Structure 1
């Protein structure tokens, strides 16, 4: 009998702590901040080459956009292309008949 009397305060303390913890766990939070790290990615543009110009076909905000770049004026890109990408043309020979085009998307 004395063993049961000694354990009653300990058991009571455990039961009380359990219910207190359960009640505290059910409190709702009124606000907070969620941090997101990552990127929302759109597909890259398709590049179609012609004799003196290049067409960039891009899907932006769900709409297909076609941008034409005149290779003779490649350094002066239209503003609508500048908003989505930086286009650089590097010629490999003095005749400017071979080139590498570098497209960096924003």
Structure 2
């Protein structure tokens, strides 16, 4: 109702060749991606093991946690939260309607809900 997510256009490099992301099997004892000593031809930093897609500035704890476990991540914000066209109706709907359940699915949705509840 009052809260929408949209995908922001972000210029990306052409997709890698076939099988570039397929990691179904790694031989026992083989170094994992991002492990120390990994050979990186023509790259200044290791390829990411994880791409974090939340909005910029909301990833610090997750990225730090991943780094503690030697998992290299890349922040690539693909989600942008914007106010919906009916945001001004939220308070009235919450006040006038009866609900058996309200499900809040994210911190952003919780903030919108609490603002509308005032």
What band does the TM-score fall into relative to the shorter chain?
A: under 0.3
The structure with more radius of gyration: 1
Larger RCO: 1 or 2 (CA < 8 Å, sep 6+): 2
Scaled by the length of structure 1, the TM-score of the pair is: 0.23
Normalising by structure 2, we get a TM-score of: 0.21
Structure showing the higher strand proportion among its residues: 1
